[in-house]
Structure 1
């Protein structure tokens, strides 16, 4: 007998009563492809990178789409060693109701550790993963962050030099 499929980010947001819009697009994985499909600039996206800790906990890092992750800062914020971070594979993502190319900071898995970059809350209306590579969630960044009450906020991103901090 198969285990039930975990619920995905859109269902979690809907259950919480958070307003969002699901935007369908071709099955794409890279942030640039998503932006092209949706007609939005990379600066209006939140990318979520998924890692697994040595205890098999999922660690999600949410940062502006055009920023680079500071791995050491993420590990510090999560209270683990940098060497204990490994990229999450498709099987680990599936247990949290997500697929590669659709990672979202919102999950029904209460054991997931989520760290938002401190700049995300001021981004306004953004697009982020929906749990699937063929759609994205359009949502106010502050509402996205509020939908993950146990999330931490830290300076984990390096923004391009021409961006205000």
Structure 2
């Protein structure tokens, strides 16, 4: 069960956009014709205990790993990239990670700037489709999520 089903069950209004199989935020933007600043990318990590940690941030921002670890209440060294098998157990595939997960034990951390982004595009669980949704509704769909300052913005363009 991928992210669209939980969003629909919560009554979140969203549009699903199909596009070619893409894995980077810039490829998604090119496929959908949207600016990078109107996307939310979600990076997936696991802890040594196999807990999924999802970091949701503006598509043009860079994750500050130490800040994510502090927001998650763990040490930086305890974060490892989630592999395809771990993502599959959460109902997702690489290139389509969404902050709304079938893994109810996942820890989700939204960057504090996401709430002000308005209508955004984010992963759907699959790399060949994206979700268009109000950022505030996306965040509300994960009520137990943390919100923290976890990004830096590059001075000279997208991350």
Q: Report the TM range for the smaller structure's normalisation.
A: over 0.9
- Provide the residue aligned with 1:83 in structure 2: 77
Runs of 4 or more, structure 1, over 6 Å off, are none
- State which of 14, 17, 22 in structure 1 corresponds to 2:8: 14
Matched, 1:156 2:150: yes
User: Residue 142 of structure 1 aligns to a residue in which SS?
Assistant: helix
Shift of 1:94: 0.2
Distance 1:160 1:86 in 2: 23
Alignment of 1:108-123 (within 5 A): 108-123=102-117
Q: How far has the Cα of 1:161 moved from its partner?
A: 3.3
Structure 1: gaps of 5 or more residues = 1-6
TM-score by length of 2: 0.97
CA-atom RMSD in angstroms: 1.1
The reply on whether 1:40 has 2:34 as its aligned counterpart is yes
Q: Deviations over 1:52-100 (max 9, x none)?
A: 0011000000000000000000000000000000000000000000000
Between Structure 1 and Structure 2, how many residues are aligned? Answer: 157
Which of these residues, 50, 53, 66, is aligned with residue 59 of structure 1? 53
